[in-house]
Structure 1
Amino acid sequence: MLLDHADLDGHDQLAALMAESRYPPIGETREFYLVELERGRVVFAGSPSRRGFNLIGSVHGGYAATLLDSACGCFVHSSLPTGQGYTTLELRVFYHRALSETSGPVRAEGKLASLGRRVGFSEARVSMPGDAYVHLRHRRG
């Protein structure tokens, strides 16, 4: 997907994909999408459904982890110059409350903690209006 825009920096690559309504397949699988992109901020949104339930009847923790990983990853990507890539080095998720089918639409906003020459740290929070559920600290290199 990004190879079509290899001549652009990370932010402009994501902006081009959004303009073309092209999204990574994981978003279709997990039912969330990149909905806002600015320099210094990315937001993913989705609605957990029964398709993502675990055995105890709540949304599997992997839904939130994947949503957060996407927000953090795209945030770091949006900060990179042309031709530079990244991969996840560490993923730490803190669950404050379970997501359920009645949670409604959720949003994950990614922000940069720091960006060095080799490693970037970002964080994100999954929330719905007025209520935080899960947050993440993330390290990419």
Structure 2
Amino acid sequence: MNLLHEIGQHLSGIELLNAIVEADHRPGIGKTLDIRLASAEDGRVVLEASPDVNVYNPMGTVHGGFVATMLDFACGYAALSKLASGQSFTTIELKISYHRALMRETGTVRAEGKVITAGRRVAFTEARLIDADGKVYASATSSLLILSS
């Protein structure tokens, strides 16, 4: 399912994100991992999830792929918030630093993404994955190619 086509290609990026928040729309991976977009504003987004043992790795902690997915969402959605109607994006690069292990007991975590710079062809974003106390579990930077239809 393509949320852009389902909700409306006529919307700007921030309008699309706000429609996603209002209706709790999620792309397939968001449904699978129970990651939801909590808020969106110009150049900044927040996603939330409560990981459990279903996303654990063999070592007994939350798999890095879950963390990477949350940070990729945050970086991408932050870039999307700056786009006009008819524009989309694709990730060129995503660099993640894992600061500490994430466990079910950590509780709900937030991926906060923001735009550092956005030009006509490329956007640069960053994100942090934090717990309720603001403790950082991972951080990321991303480069995104801006596409026009």
* TM-score interval (norm. to shorter): over 0.9
Aligned to 2:73: 70
Normalising to structure 1: TM-score of the pair? 0.96
User: Equivalent residue for 1:132?
Assistant: 136
Please name the residue that 1:91 is paired with: 94
Which residues of 2 match residues 1-141 of structure 1 at below 5 A? 1-3=3-5, 4-128=7-131, 129-141=133-145
* Deviations 1:11-45, CA, capped at 9 Å, x for gaps: 00111222223221211111210011122311000
Give the TM-score normalised by the residue count of structure 2. Answer: 0.91
Residue range with higher mean Cα deviation, 70-79 or 13-22: 13-22
Distance (whole Å) between structure 2 residues aligned to residue 54 and residue 22 of structure 1 = 27
Secondary structure at the aligned position of 2:84 is classed as coil
How much does 1:85 deviate?
Answer: 1.0
The residue type equivalent to 1:25 in the other structure is G
Q: Percent identity, aligned pairs only?
A: 43
Unaligned runs of 5+ in 1: none
Provide structure 2 residue ranges, at least 5 long, that are not aligned to the other structure: none
- Tell me the distance in 2 between the aligned counterparts of 1:2 and 1:104: 31
Poorly superposed stretches of 4+, deviation over 6 Å: none
Q: What is the SS of the residue equivalent to 2:21?
A: helix
**DSSP-derived class of the 1:85 partner:** strand
Q: Name the stretch that deviates more: 64-73 or 31-40.
A: 31-40
